[in-house]
């Protein structure tokens, strides 16, 4: 059964349009609440959000939905997505909800759901909730309607948890760190956690106004932090996205370091201590071939999944891995958390910098990436990947790259976009292949 509402990372869309309305949010609360009403205990859901203006509306609608089917609600206010996963498990809640569209602009919003174990829901659970969305919810009688309350110590709980991921003998004294929070969910907690371990913190992207989340700041708009790191003569820069589940690092020269390099660093450090589980790393089909080649030199493997940190996580759990992520910056460290956590991964990077005593540019560039090019083609009609001319163009490109590179073509799970990625040892060849496919897709779009 195809999913109608859930994409690769929950339900997402433009606010007050399509699936992302207050009415729909209330129905999601009722359906998800009904699905997780199991056992005779008093049921509880934890709801967090990022800093989007529409978060107030979506939060209120979700509260109405959950309480109407008999669930109590705990609201945390703005917190990173991984904090909600953590609190769901810590508070013995039946369900966790994060209201966020991650790195998307403020006009969008989304609903991410976590089970009582703090992990994102399986495809089967999401399908079950979708089926419930088609029916009228079983509302409880007046005496059993849920209660809602806000908690004041949620930020402190999360800060404590990410600090615990760093060995007690490590302090960040002497490090000057630029922290870009994208005017998003981590605007209070990320700078505080890094400062509390001794670093001098220069915070940016920490003045949310409801409409500036991810705007020219954060992990998907790196120009500002790259410039700031150099201007401040900082040792390193930390760039998070709107809900702080992804991380891009900037070295002292102002050069970005993506998720592939971060995974390589963390895996190498853990492997040297005998603490890397699974014999390698889990990443998606988008990770650079250079990462795969580097891991092979270390006697490690790269397990690839389709795009989406949920699929990375599923493979990690099935194979016993403790390090995984995406080139885009999602870092999943199962020794410390249940989902991608940019702040937690930043703490691990900073600890590695301290232990090495070297500059960030020496520590963070672990392997040589092969030339890789990704382009997006928007479409408004039918799926261009079904077009015979597009199929033929892709087949020709695969033959051309055989043995020297890779080709990944996919439809986005969150927007009407075809993503065309190629990589290989010959940069000119990679560019030709990508442009040729993009042209074919554009003609069919």
Please name the residues in contact with 232: beta carbons below 8 A apart, sequence gap of 6 or more.
Answer: 176, 178, 202
Handedness of CA 187, 192, 195, 197 (dihedral sign): negative
Is residue 205 within 8 Å of residue 265, measured between CB atoms?
A: no
- Whether domain 372-444 has CATH 3.30.310.50: yes
| pLDDT value at 357 more than 90 | yes
| pLDDT value at 1 more than 80 | no
DSSP per-residue string spanning 360-403 = HHHHH--SPPPPEEEEEEE-SSS-GGG-HHHHHHHHHHHHHHTT
Q: Specify the pLDDT at position 115.
A: 96
Which CATH number is 11-152 given? 3.40.120.10
| pLDDT value at 237 more than 70 | yes
Q: Residues of CATH 3.30.310.50 domain(s) within the chain?
A: 372-444
Q: How far apart are the first and last CA of the chain?
A: 26
Please name the residues in contact with 161: beta carbons below 8 A apart, sequence gap of 6 or more.
Answer: 83, 86, 336, 337
CA distance 123 to 111: 15
- Interior/surface letters 244-276, b for 16+ CB within 10 angstroms, e for the rest: bbbbbbbbbebbbbbbbbbbbbbbbbbbeeeeb
CA distances from 79 to 195, 310, 386 (A): 18, 20, 41
Which CATH number is 257-341 given? 3.40.120.10
Q: Specify the pLDDT at position 310.
A: 87
Q: Specify the pLDDT at position 3.
A: 72
Mean pLDDT computed over 166-170: 94
Q: What percent of the chain has pLDDT over 70?
A: 99
CB atoms within 10 A of CB 76: 22
Mean pLDDT computed over 221-227: 98
Q: Output helix, strand, coil percentages for the chain, rounded to the nearest 5.
A: 40, 20, 40
CA 69 and chain centroid, separation: 30
Handedness of CA 211, 328, 247, 32 (dihedral sign): positive
Q: Which CATH class is domain 168-256?
A: alpha beta
- Torsion of Cα atoms, 203 then 206 then 212 then 215, to 10°: 20
Q: Residues of CATH 3.40.120.10 domain(s) within the chain?
A: 11-152, 168-256, 257-341
Looking up tokens 């895996």, which residue turns up?
267
Look at residues 96, 150, 153, 93 and name the one whose alpha carbon lies nearest to residue 119. Answer: 96
Per-residue pLDDT tens digits for 150-165? 999 999 999 999 999 9
Q: Specify the pLDDT at position 428.
A: 95
Please name the residues in contact with 346: beta carbons below 8 A apart, sequence gap of 6 or more.
Answer: 179, 190, 194, 238, 240, 247, 249
Looking up tokens 């006009």, which residue turns up?
107
Q: Read off the pLDDT band of 307 (50, 70, 90).
A: confident
Query: How is residue 331 written in tokens?
Result: 């870092």
Is residue 434 within 8 Å of residue 421, measured between CB atoms?
A: yes
CA distance 241 to 293: 29
CA distance 326 to 342: 12
Q: Read off the pLDDT band of 388 (50, 70, 90).
A: very high
Mean pLDDT computed over 39-51: 95
Q: Specify the pLDDT at position 382.
A: 84
Q: Read off the pLDDT band of 276 (50, 70, 90).
A: very high
Q: Read off the pLDDT band of 8 (50, 70, 90).
A: confident
pTM above 0.75, yes or no: yes
Per-residue pLDDT tens digits for 56-90? 999 999 999 999 999 999 999 999 999 999 999 99
Is residue 349 within 8 Å of residue 239, measured between CB atoms?
A: no
Q: Specify the pLDDT at position 2.
A: 61
CB atoms within 10 A of CB 4: 11
CA distance 157 to 164: 11
Per-residue pLDDT tens digits for 321-349? 999 999 999 999 999 999 999 999 999 99
Q: Specify the pLDDT at position 9.
A: 82
Per-residue pLDDT tens digits for 126-137? 999 999 999 899
Per-residue pLDDT tens digits for 201-219? 999 999 999 999 999 999 9
Look at residues 365, 243, 385, 203 and name the one whose alpha carbon lies nearest to residue 294. Answer: 365
Burial degree of 39 (CB within 10 A; 0-12, 13-18, 19+): exposed
| pLDDT value at 194 more than 70 | yes
Q: Enumerate the active-site residues.
A: 102
| pLDDT value at 264 more than 70 | yes
Q: Read off the pLDDT band of 359 (50, 70, 90).
A: very high
């Amino acid at each position: 059964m195809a999913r109608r509402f859930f994409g690769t990372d929950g339900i997402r869309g433009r606010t007050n349009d399509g699936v992302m309305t207050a009415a729909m949010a209330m129905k999601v609360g009722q359906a998800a609440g009904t699905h997780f009403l199991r056992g005779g205990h008093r049921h509880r859901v934890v709801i967090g959000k990022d800093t989007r203006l529409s978060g107030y509306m979506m939060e209120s609608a979700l509260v109405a939905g959950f309480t109407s089917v008999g669930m109590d609600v705990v609201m945390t206010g703005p917190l990173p997505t991984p904090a909600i996963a953590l609190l769901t498990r810590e508070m013995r809640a039946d369900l966790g909800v994060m209201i966020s569209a991650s790195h998307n602009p403020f006009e969008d919003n989304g609903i991410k759901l976590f089970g009582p174990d703090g992990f994102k829901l399986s495809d089967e659970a999401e399908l079950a909730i979708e089926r419930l969305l088609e029916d009228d919810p079983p509302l409880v009688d007046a005496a059993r309607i849920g209660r809602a309350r806000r908690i004041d110590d949620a930020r402190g709980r999360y800060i404590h948890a990410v600090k615990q991921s760093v060995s007690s003998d490590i302090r960040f004294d002497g490090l000057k760190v630029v922290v870009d929070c994208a005017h998003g969910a981590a605007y209070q907690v990320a700078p505080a956690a890094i400062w509390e371990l001794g670093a001098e913190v220069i915070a940016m992207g920490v003045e949310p106004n409801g409409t500036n989340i991810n705007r020219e700041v954060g992990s998907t708009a790196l120009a500002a932090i790259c410039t700031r790191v150099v201007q401040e003569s900082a040792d390193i820069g930390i760039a998070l996205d709107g809900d702080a589940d992804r991380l891009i690092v900037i070295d002292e020269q102002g050069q970005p370091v993506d998720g592939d390099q971060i995974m390589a660093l963390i895996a190498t450090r853990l492997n040297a201590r005998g603490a890397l589980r699974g014999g390698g790393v889990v990443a998606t089909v988008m990770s650079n071939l250079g990462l795969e080649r580097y891991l092979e030199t270390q006697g490690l493997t790269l397990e690839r999944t389709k795009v989406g940190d949920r699929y990375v996580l599923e493979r990690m759990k099935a194979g016993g891995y403790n390090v995984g992520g995406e080139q885009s910056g999602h870092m999943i460290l199962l020794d410390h958390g249940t989902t991608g956590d940019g702040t937690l991964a930043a703490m691990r990077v900073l600890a590695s910098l301290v232990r090495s005593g070297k500059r960030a540019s020496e520590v963070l560039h672990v392997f040589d990436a092969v030339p890789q090019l990704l382009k997006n083609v928007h479409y408004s009609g039918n799926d261009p990947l079904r077009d015979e001319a597009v199929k033929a163009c892709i087949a020709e490109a695969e033959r051309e790259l055989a043995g020297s590179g890779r080709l990944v073509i996919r439809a986005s799970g969150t927007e009407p976009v075809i993503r065309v990625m190629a990589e290989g040892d010959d940069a000119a060849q990679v560019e030709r292949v990508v442009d040729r496919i993009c042209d074919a897709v554009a003609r069919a779009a």
